[in-house]
Amino acid sequence: MIKRVLIALLCCASYGMYAQNGTVSPYSYFGIGDLRTVNTVENQMMGGLGMYSDSIHLNIKNPAAYSDLKLTTYAIGLSHKELRLKSFTEKQSTSVTNLDYLSVGLPISEKGAIGFGLMPYSSVGYSLVSESENDNQRAVTNIFSGEGGLNRVYVSLGYKVAKNLGIGATANFNFGTIESQRLQSVEDVQFGTIDRRLSRINGYDFNLAANYTPKVGEKTTLYTSVMIATQSNLVSKNTQAIGSFSSSTGADIEVIDVNLDALNLRNTELKVPTTTTFGLGYGENKKWFLGAEYSTQALSSFNNDFLGADNILYQDASSFAFGAYLIPDYTSFTSYLKRVTYRAGVRLDKTGMVINNKEINNFGITFGLGLPLGARNSTIPNFSNINLGFEVGRRGTTDASLIEESYLKVNVGLTLNDKWFLKRRIN
């Protein structure tokens, strides 16, 4: 039954991820859009930590975690984000709902497992208005809009090469379309100008990871990890059309295709630099855990020749994350609340974007619950669970005519466990 449900969800998700508008952030105007969170709800609620793994949950950020997986596991994640956008003079509220991931993990031996799935990689969704005056003291209005983004399919493999050492690798294929448009009109001028651009993008990258988890006491474990998300090598096939439109009706008047071959912009390369993450934690399995991660990315080398903006510079990006969980008593027969997993975390991201000479940073606080689905006194073990998560945070600034985003994000994740490849026994 579970397999049939997951096949149906996969079909729906394949269409839903391709069609959904994954962001409403003005900052998705830059680069290849908002880079989406690559993590399950369980790990997101611990500040986005990717180092922790166990035998019944997927960790799609860290392929070495598959070396600990003991049950066939299906995972799906949904999110709803409420945003308040604030400039120096105005405020606006909006929201967006997304399917964040659909993943499957399959143990292939006592020491290893494979995984595969589908998730968004980046999202574009913005509508911006800029007003100014020209030399003739006439109002000039520019309207910028964009939509689209990239999706990702992946295959992962993790293996336990020694008692406390697991390694893993993930191959990602990224694909999608980004559309952008600029409309410019001048006060008392009959026709405005149009600039429409479209990029069809695809490419690949890899994730490499190693987890070393030695015992440091009778019950406690030291958790260490190294994760490397290699450079994304993307190829963009571009088209551009320019022309005029009627300022009164909005209808196109004359639009022509630009010869991008002559400008050497028909096919461009996008290289999203390597991200390296180091993690350190300490805890008691199925009881409690506390950990921290530091990530760094040489984003200063990134450039988008075709969709680039004049008012942005890129510098090296970094991120700090701290997270923890607590399970009062996972074996309790009498109290459901004692079997609940309580998670919390905090993160600070330096995005690497410098817009109008202002750094764009993000700060978030996360917390959530892991709710067991199976009855503890059942004769058939059931490790499936629903994970609820919340994140409150802020990104950007109102300085230099920029936008500050305050957000509340609600996450729901479903993890189902099953056993495949079991021999039937007939008494």
Average pLDDT on 106-134 reads 92
User: In angstroms, rounded to a whole number, what is the distance separating the alpha carbons of residues 64 and 137?
Assistant: 62
Residue 376 — very low, low, confident or very high, per pLDDT cuts 50/70/90?
low
Cα distances (Å, whole numbers) of residue 156 to 17, 171, 201, 206: 20, 6, 22, 10
Per-residue model confidence as pLDDT tens digits over 211-240 = 999 999 889 999 999 999 999 999 999 999
Average pLDDT on 160-173 reads 96
DSSP 3-state of 79: strand
User: In angstroms, rounded to a whole number, what is the distance separating the alpha carbons of residues 90 and 144?
Assistant: 18
Strand 312-314 relative to strand 341-355, pairing: antiparallel
pLDDT score at 381: 54
The yes-or-no verdict on residue 336 having pLDDT over 70 is: yes
pLDDT score at 346: 98
CB 363 within 8 A of CB 406: no
Q: Scan for tokens 């962001």, then name that residue.
A: 23
Instruction: Please provide the DSSP assignment of 109-178 as one string.
Output: SSSEEEEEEEEEEEEEEEEEEEEEE-TTS-EEEEEEEEEEEEEEEEEEEEEEEETTEEEEEEEEEEEEEE
Average pLDDT on 403-424 reads 81
The yes-or-no verdict on residue 423 having pLDDT over 50 is: no
User: In angstroms, rounded to a whole number, what is the distance separating the alpha carbons of residues 332 and 335?
Assistant: 6
The yes-or-no verdict on residue 418 having pLDDT over 50 is: yes
Q: How many CA atoms lie within 13 A of 84 on its CB side?
A: 9
CB 41 within 8 A of CB 323: no
The yes-or-no verdict on residue 11 having pLDDT over 90 is: no
Average pLDDT on 272-291 reads 96
Residue 426 — very low, low, confident or very high, per pLDDT cuts 50/70/90?
very low
Superfamily name and number for 2-418 = Outer membrane protein transport protein (OMPP1/FadL/TodX) (2.40.160.60)
The yes-or-no verdict on residue 20 having pLDDT over 60 is: no
Residue 394 — very low, low, confident or very high, per pLDDT cuts 50/70/90?
very high
Domains of the chain: which residue ranges?
Answer: 2-418
Mean pLDDT taken over the chain: 89
pLDDT score at 37: 79
The yes-or-no verdict on residue 133 having pLDDT over 50 is: yes
The yes-or-no verdict on residue 425 having pLDDT over 70 is: no
Per-residue model confidence as pLDDT tens digits over 33-59 = 998 878 999 999 999 999 999 988 999
Dihedral sign for Cα 299, 21, 404, 89, please.
Answer: positive
Instruction: Please provide the DSSP assignment of 395-414 as one string.
Output: EE-SGGG--EEEEEEEEEEE
pLDDT score at 386: 94
Lowest-confidence region among 276-285, 370-379, 404-413 = 370-379
